[in-house]
Amino acid sequence: MESSGKIVVVGSYIVALVMETERLPQAGETLVGRGYHSAYGGKGSNQAVQATRLGGRVELLTRIGKDAAGEEFLRLCRREGISDRYVGCDPEAPTATGFIICSAAAQNIITIDIGALARISKKHVNRALESVAAGDVVLLQFEIPVEMALYAAEVAHRKKAVVVLNPAPAHDLSVVDLSMVDYLTPNETEARVCLGLPPSDPESEERLAGRLLEKGCRNVLVTLGERGALLCNRDGCHLYKPVRLEKAVDSTGAGDAFNGALAVALSEKRPVDEAVRFANAVAAFACTGADTIPSYGTRSQIEAFLHHSR
Which amino acids are annotated catalytic? 256
DSSP 187: B
Judge contact between 141 and 13, C-beta under 8 A.
Answer: no
CA angle 52, 173, 236 (to 5 degrees): 75
Q: Distance between CA 230 and CA 208 in Å, rounded?
A: 11
| Cβ 95 vs Cβ 70: under 8 Å | yes
CA 68 to CA 233: how far, in whole Å? 44
Distance of CA 236 to the CA centre of its chain: 24
Tabulate helix, strand, coil % of the chain (nearest 5): 35, 25, 40
- Which runs of E-coded beta strand occur in 66-214? 87-90, 96-103, 108-113, 137-141, 162-166, 183-184
